[in-house]
Amino acid sequence: MRVLGIESSCDETAVAVYDEIDGLLSHRLHSQVAMHQAYGGVVPELASRDHVRRLLPLVREALADAHSDRDSIDGVAYTAGPGLIGALLVGAGFATALGVAWRKPALGIHHLEGHLLAPLLEPKPPDFPFLALLVSGGHTQLVDVAALGSYRIVGETLDDAAGEAFDKTAKLLGLPYPGGAALATLAEHGRSGQFVFPKPMLDRPGLDFSFSGLKTAALVALRGRELLGTIRADVARGFEEAVVETLAEKCRRALVQTGHKRLVIAGGVGANRRLRERLASVVMAVGAEVYFPRTEFCTDNGAMIALAGCLRLKAGQLHGLGMSARANWELGSIGV
């Protein structure tokens, strides 16, 4: 079974070919970051138009890289949501049309399911069941994953997502959008303990998160100070440590509470080096194992969508001509 995967939910156009036996055969990606940077964030209409321009050439390239054509592809998977509706519609329309022309099923995939299955692209994939920490620009959730399509949210953010907090704080520090990775690089030069940020929701039981207070704490820390390199780096370090400690402690609690022995990390913030190191030691201390996608598959990509499509096709899911695109879509409600 071989699936072409298409991701276009936000500011990356990404295409990949995944084969049930041979694994990932190709993946191509075009990032729109440079285009949106001038505006300090994603401009939805520009995103949609750029997906229209990029999609067909990327599909051609990904198929050629994978030595595949319409005859060897068994299905087309696309991100159906959640995301920017115009951007989603480009991918959904394209994939559905391709499915009709090729007489192959076109499957709408939940973007977050794609993220949490991404570690299955790696040489040592986790088995089901597992606990997943989804940390992206739009979501921060702890998910109890019993099997493909069986997702129970056990904790989530009450306000900002972790990636959103990284991006907003990065902006305060004068870093360009999207600032998460740049803030992490700046934090490498910062000193631990110079600025101690609150660790939200750690003082009470439960698995929910709250990150919106951190950008305010950063604003207060920076107020009245000259934005010198060392101070910016120290603030970045203090902020990153607060987020990482919070995420690590909630993962520890969730592992103990659910009894899971495997923790999967997914989503853009999963690329954060300090988070990866901290989680590795926390998970070891409770006798569990941690699974990360490689860094490039933490952020949005087509490989995770092709993989999810392949698993769903194998599980017997066959969509007809219906096309689906949803800006909002609860992960817990999707089923198999």
Binding site for ligand KG4 (CB under 6 A): 136-138, 163, 166-167, 178-181, 184, 267-269, 271-272, 299-300
* Residue 13 CB, nearest approach to ligand KG4 (Å): 13
* Residue 314 CB, nearest approach to ligand KG4 (Å): 25
The listed partner (Zn ion, ligand KG4, none) that binds 138, CB under 5 to 8 Å by sort, is: ligand KG4
One-letter amino acid for residue 131 of the chain? L
* Residue 290 CB, nearest approach to ligand KG4 (Å): 17
Q: How far is CA 249 from the centre of its chain?
A: 20
Strands 289-291 and 2-7: unpaired
The listed partner (Zn ion, ligand KG4, none) that binds 50, CB under 5 to 8 Å by sort, is: none
* 82: its two tokens: 């959640």
* Residue 167 CB, nearest approach to ligand KG4 (Å): 5
Task: Decide whether 104 or 171 has the Cβ nearer to ligand KG4.
Answer: 171
Measured CA angle at 73 (ends 316, 89), to 5 deg: 80
What are the CA-CA distances from residue 64 to residues 15, 20, 60, 203, 319 (Å)?
Answer: 12, 18, 6, 54, 26
For tokens 């991100």, the residue is 79
The listed partner (Zn ion, ligand KG4, none) that binds 180, CB under 5 to 8 Å by sort, is: ligand KG4
Look at residues 29, 1, 5, 251 and name the one whose alpha carbon lies nearest to residue 114: 5
Task: Decide whether 99 or 267 has the Cβ nearer to ligand KG4.
Answer: 267
The listed partner (ligand KG4, Zn ion, none) that binds 167, CB under 5 to 8 Å by sort, is: ligand KG4
* Residue 32 CB, nearest approach to ligand KG4 (Å): 12
Task: Decide whether 75 or 82 has the Cβ nearer to ligand KG4.
Answer: 82
Task: Decide whether 7 or 19 has the Cβ nearer to ligand KG4.
Answer: 7
Q: In what order do the strands lie in the sheet with 75-81?
A: 23-31, 12-19, 2-7, 75-81, 106-110
Helix (H, G, I), strand (E, B) or coil at 330: coil
* Residue 183 CB, nearest approach to ligand KG4 (Å): 7
β-pair partners for 141: 134, 156
* 124: its two tokens: 């040592």
H-type alpha helices, 66-172: 85-102, 111-117, 162-172
The listed partner (Zn ion, ligand KG4, none) that binds 178, CB under 5 to 8 Å by sort, is: ligand KG4
Distance of alpha carbon 83 from alpha carbon 33, whole angstroms: 16
The listed partner (ligand KG4, Zn ion, none) that binds 105, CB under 5 to 8 Å by sort, is: none
Distance of alpha carbon 234 from alpha carbon 226, whole angstroms: 13
* 258: its two tokens: 């659910």
* 227: its two tokens: 């934005």
Task: Decide whether 247 or 311 has the Cβ nearer to ligand KG4.
Answer: 247
Whether a cis peptide bond, with omega within 30° of 0, leads into 178 is yes
* Residue 58 CB, nearest approach to ligand KG4 (Å): 17
DSSP state of 213: H
- As a dihedral over the C-alpha atoms of residue 38, residue 42, residue 44, residue 50, rounded to 10 degrees, the angle is 70
The listed partner (ligand KG4, Zn ion, none) that binds 166, CB under 5 to 8 Å by sort, is: ligand KG4
Task: Decide whether 91 or 179 has the Cβ nearer to ligand KG4.
Answer: 179
Task: Decide whether 89 or 271 has the Cβ nearer to ligand KG4.
Answer: 271
Task: Decide whether 136 or 140 has the Cβ nearer to Zn ion.
Answer: 136
Distance of alpha carbon 263 from alpha carbon 127, whole angstroms: 11
* Residue 32 CB, nearest approach to Zn ion (Å): 14
Task: Decide whether 136 or 272 has the Cβ nearer to Zn ion.
Answer: 136
**Residues near Zn ion, by CB under 5 A:** 136, 300
The listed partner (Zn ion, ligand KG4, none) that binds 130, CB under 5 to 8 Å by sort, is: none
* Residue 110 CB, nearest approach to Zn ion (Å): 11
